[in-house]
Structures are given as C-alpha cells and as structure tokens.
Structure 1
C-alpha cells in the first residue's frame, strides 16, 4: 500500500517538474531579452522638454494605431517591422543614449530593435522593458498624435484643446475650437479651464516637436489637479498640414437678430463641428453635466474678461440651456467687438445627457 502511494506521489512530482520545465522552456523561446534594462525613473529623466541632448527615445510599436494613440514624450516612432528602412532616424552619433520601448514586459519589439541597433555599432543602448503601459500609469502626462486629436473631435470625446502658444500666434490660426491660454499667462487664465478635473481630458499643443510650451502647461495643469492631460506634440503646424487652416464658411442666419438657423446649426454640428467655434455660456457645473461635444465653456462674465482669447477666424456660435444667456453673450461680444463678422447665438432650448448627447428644440 505504502509502496503504491509512494509511486503515485513520485509520478505526480515528476509530472509537475516536467510541466514546469516545458513552461520555462516555452517562456525562454518567446523572445531573447536585451541585456541592458532600465526602469521608469531612468526614462523619466529624459522624457521631457526641452529635449536633452545626446538622447533618443524610440517607440518600437506600430505607428498606427499604437504610437499615435499615446507615446512617451519626445519619443520617435521607429516600428521594429520597419527598422531596417528607418535607420536614418537613429542618432548620427553612435555613442548617444538610445532607449527602446514597446507595449510592456511581454512585448519583444523593443528588445529586437535594441539588438539591431547594437549590431549597427550603437554603444549605449537600453530597453525600457515595462514600456508605455508603465509610463502612462506613472507619468504626469503623455503625448498623442495629431490624428488622435482629430478623432477625439469626431467621436465627441469629453476634452478641451488648448493652444499654449503666444496669443498673436493663436489669433493667426489654431486648431478649431481650441482655447488660447499662452503658457506664460497660465496662472492668469486658469479660470478658463473646465471644472471637471477628473473626467475632462486637456489636450495641449503649441508650435511643433521643438516647442516646449505645451509640455510646460501640461505639467502645470496636473499640478492644479487635472487627471487626464496629454500633449499633441506635432502641434498646430501638423494640424494645418494634415487638415488645413481655418476656412471661411457661409452661415445661415435664423429669424431673430443674431440667431443662427437651428437646422443649419444641427447639420454643421453633425457633419463639420470643427468649422465653428461653439461656446457654451452656462455655468461650469451645468457644462460638466452634459454639453455639445465640440463646445468649449466660457460664461458671459468670462467672455467679457477674456474676449481677446476667442478666435475670430471662423464663425462663433454661443449656446446655453434656453437661448437667454447665449443671446446675452452675443450682445456682450458684439458691443466689445463690433467689427467681427459671423457671430451668432442659438435661440433654442437644449437638453443634454451625461454622455454629451443632446436634443435641440427651436424657440418659437
């Protein structure tokens, strides 16, 4: 009896050992890990603007959809699948620090790219094995592609785009619907930021990859308590190149003075929301509870105080809950800026859902 039990136990131990060996062998066969691994603290020292000299951070994931959806600030996209075709993007000095990363510990792309770079003669190569998931969890903010900002507009995501460049540049042209809050005037104009610090994404941008203003503003926003902060590093130059500058358009007016035609407004909101600057003049609490997806929030008194920050390169439409405050904002604006054309308000009663769905009922 005892011999039989001992035999069974030994067979079980043998089987478990064999399975463990197979598992380890399988894990070993997954991919060869690079010999020099770094952590978040190491990478964070270099993932900042102005960009440190002699350092390049490389995102080894596919450009679409991974890189543009979110990446480590200042990182260059060199997908491992395209590595051999994109070696010209690597530093000219092969003694520079090159840090590769991808999608986490189970992702082999950064390791493969690191071995390739080392074989090319690069002497200071590292792999951030924890990758973007780890960075996103620990960092104050991360970067996105300008394509993602465009998608956020189309999807009706809860966000506010903020131009951190000087005011004159903002007036000369900006991303549709963006607020103009120059980095140097951040403290004075922070009351223009949305009240929802937990659920509204702030998307900062400025003059392109070499511009540090959006990065500085992002850090300040996090210090104020905003939890969702990103930077569209390519900035307005990339937006203008990819989607064009603001183009003039003809607005259909409604029956009341200054009112916009409701049907025209709804069609524009559905098909081309970025073609107008839509300003919700309700209180911040009302706005946070639901609003038109492309609308920015600025109460009537804020309009009077910050009127020079409102872009005038495309039609402006003020909205509220019933048309009353929107009409007031319209007249405040026109009294202060009588020469500005294409300014309107929505003469309608509007109901909003928490998901930013809406129903618009024209006032009779």
Structure 2
C-alpha cells in the first residue's frame, strides 16, 4: 500500500483537474454535434476558478462563454483571446450599456427596459451591438413574457436590429419525462418562428444530454462540465473535476454510550475510534451532512475506504468513525472529502440539495492547486 498523503500546509487542499474540464467539454461537444457548444462559467466557474476554467475550455475548443454578471464577464474577457464571445446571463443592468460595449460583453436581454437601453446604445454608436434575446417559456425567472414577443419584434424591426441569438431556459430538464419539457420546447419553437434565421439556444447540461430536439444552434452546458450529475436517476458519465482533502488533527478512543459533537446528537453504540478532521461548515462542508442517532450522515474516504461522519459538523472540524480501518490515520494524514470515492452528488444527496450547491460552496480555507490530471500547476 502506498504511504498515505500527509498535509504539507495547515489546512485543506482543493485540486482542480483542468484536463478533466477539457475532456468533459469535448465529450459534450460530441453529443451536441451540429450545434455550437458553449461553456457556462458563472459562480467562479462553479467554484473551480473562472480564469483557469475559462482558459481550459478555450484550449479544448470553446469560443462561447456564459457568465452571470458583468464582473464575471470582465474576468473571462481578461483571461481569453479576442476570439472569445461572452454572454451575460443576468441581462443588462440599468445604465451599464457603456460597460458592456467597452468590454465586448453580450447581454441576454430579458425585459423591455433592457431592450430599450440596448437599442439606444446601438443608435448612439451607429452599430448593431451583439446581444441575445431571452424569452420566458415557463420557468418564471428572467425573460420576456410570451405576450411581449410582438412588442420585441416591433422594437427591433423599427431600427433593423438583429440579435445574435434568441434563448430560453428549461425548468425541468433534469427530469426528462416531465411534461413541462415538451411544453417549453413547443413554446420556444413558436417564438423562434417569429425570428427566422436567428440562432437559437435552449439546452443546459441536462437538455443537451437527454433530447437532441433541444440542441438548436447553441447549447449551454454547466454542471456536467464540472463533473456533476445533470440528469436525475441516471448514471453520471462525466469525469470528476474536483478533489478536496483535509488533514486529520488527532484520533481518540470513544467508549460505548459516549456522545460526539455539539448537541450530543450521536451516541456511540460500541467502543469506537474517532478521527477529528480539519474541515467544517466555514469551508463549505454543510452542517446538513451531520449524523445523529436518527439520521446517517455523509461519508468521507481514508485510503480509499469510506468512513462515516459522526455527530454534528462544526465550524472548523468533523468527527469521522475510523474504527474499521486496519490502522488509525496519523495526524496530518489527508482525508478525501471529494474525489474518486466521494462525489459532489454523494454529499448533495445526504444534504438534500444538488451538486451545484456543493461545488459553488467550495470557498473554504484551502490551498488551491490546478493539475492537468497529473502534477499540480500551482
């Protein structure tokens, strides 16, 4: 057996496999052959680092990027060559058109006031500034209402403006059999008919992976790029991207009937050995991953063996039952929080959430490093 990894710093270690990011983008681009494949890099590229992830996707072949805010878009613009095209999913913030124009960002315009401001910017600059038009087909978040389609069309026709793309967003793509998917596809097709010749985009990761009818001219994968599960109830085919490790602080023997952690929620049913590990909710390890006498918590892995979390997750540390290990872990030995044996979705299932939240919460006290699937790049 290889010697266990020992901490070289004072806290956790977060490793992002840039090679896996590239492989995931290439795999999805093959599925969506015939459509352009973008890359959603919002929320710091789902916690992996927007600069590094954007560069990896660009090296893999991506040229269209989707950020949530202008600040994110500016970070992508600074990281990539001039051939990158950057959409801002949150639309056009009031008064921000000059910023978007200066940074060559394309708003996903979702309301009449946004469209008015953007068309005024087009007139002022005497050019058709690129943007997408976002229509709400049933999710009731951002997007023009369907009864505004004729108004939008009249506004852009008055000045001869053509958008780069029209788009909508699926509400239930992760549940392929949901009736709403068919309803939204039909509604979006009716919107497309009002804008002939304009490229269209509907699919997120799940939409891309489940129904070719959703592909149109552009797909916008997000969670699948980062190794997360996109479709409920199906095997996840994507390569894991993130490894998170945290060091053991100490081990101790706990007697039958003693409790572990705040609230005394977990009573040991047998003599046990507990490892105290340096990670907690301040590091994005959710309190809802705790265990109690009535609820099994999540698992971590030590030397490839799953070990259950015991008691309540605290701010800085967790207890892990290592009784079944042939040898107790040494102080400084690294515990796999996320990696080949424990996925983001494993934790998400225990916490009654989704892998997206697990990934985007990884802002803890970690040493962060990047690899191409082998040695760290720093």
The verdict on a shared fold, with TM-score over 0.5 as the criterion, is: no
Normalized per residue, which structure has more helix?
1
Normalized per residue, which structure has more strand?
2
The higher relative CO (CA closer than 8 Å, separation ≥ 6) is in: 2
Using structure 1 for the length normalisation, give the TM-score: 0.30
Q: Which has the larger radius of gyration?
A: 1
